[in-house]
Amino acid sequence: MHGFSTSETGSVGLTHAPDSAAVLAARRRFAEELGIDPSSFTVAGAVHGCTVDRVDRPVELIPGVDGLVSNRRGVALFATYADCLPLLAYDPQAGAIGLAHAGWRGTRGGVGGALVAAFQAHFGSRPEDLVVGLGPCICGNCYEVGPEFADLFPPDVLAPGRGDRLRLDLREANRRQLTEAGVPGDRIETLDICTYESDRFYSHRRFPDGSRFAAVIALT
């Protein structure tokens, strides 16, 4: 089972929240909508890195990681987003799930490849068995970055922006990374929703008030 919270659920990000009680209430509402116990949420702290941890039982928060994997029922992997890309992965052979948070830094560092490697290391997964979903994020038309990004990313995931600016296609950069790690292209599914353009999802670039939506994946 997997899902995304929306702005109707309310912000589920604690880090920049002015009112943590409202955030916790929104998380409970989201759990209810998913039909799961809110205490099964295990939150990836998300520091724009590439560390992926294995989770065997629900833990409120795992700081310092941008990816989680598990093969246990009763653990709902949870991360929050506002323009960064959610990567959700499932290995039906190994019965394992994974979730990652990929902004430009994590993408540059290879968090998608690290997620695939974690499946291999912890569950003996074969990359060709993985099914990966790319969730809502800022799209390649809206995500304007500085000219220095020409040194950070391959030219085929960048496009010209205004003046000397560039535009970065986070989804395409991650899709390429996953296929390079051995995930077949036809097993990568993309949800073509831009957070900057859709007000159903929070966008840091559209409205930087600390609001976040969540992606969740769990074995049922």
* Residues forming the site for Zn ion (CB under 5 A): 139, 141-142, 194, 196-197
Closest residue to bound Zn ion by CB: 194
- Please, are residues 214 and 78 in contact by the beta-carbon 8 Å criterion? yes
| Least distance from Zn ion to the Cβ atom of residue 67, Å | 24
User: What is the distance between the alpha carbons of residues 29 and 34, in angstroms, rounded to a whole number?
Assistant: 9
- Of residues 144 and 197, the one with the C-beta less far from Zn ion: 197
Residue 72 Cα distances to 12, 55, 68, 94, 143, angstroms: 24, 8, 12, 11, 36
Q: How far is the CB of 201 from Zn ion (least distance, A)?
A: 11
Smallest gap from residue 144 Cβ to Zn ion (A): 10
Other beta carbons less than 10 A from residue 127's beta carbon: 20
Q: State in angstroms the smallest separation of the CB of 97 from Zn ion.
A: 28
Closest to Zn ion by CB, 153 or 196 = 196
- What is the dihedral sign for C-alpha 52, 18, 75, 59? positive
- Our CB check for Zn ion shows the closer of 37 and 197 to be 197
Closer CB to Zn ion, residue 20 or residue 141? 141
For the bound state, the minimum distance from the C-beta of residue 102 to Zn ion, rounded and expressed in Å, comes to: 16
Handedness of CA 154, 152, 139, 190 (dihedral sign): positive
Q: Of 83, 78, 81, which is closest to residue 67 (Cα–Cα)? A: 78
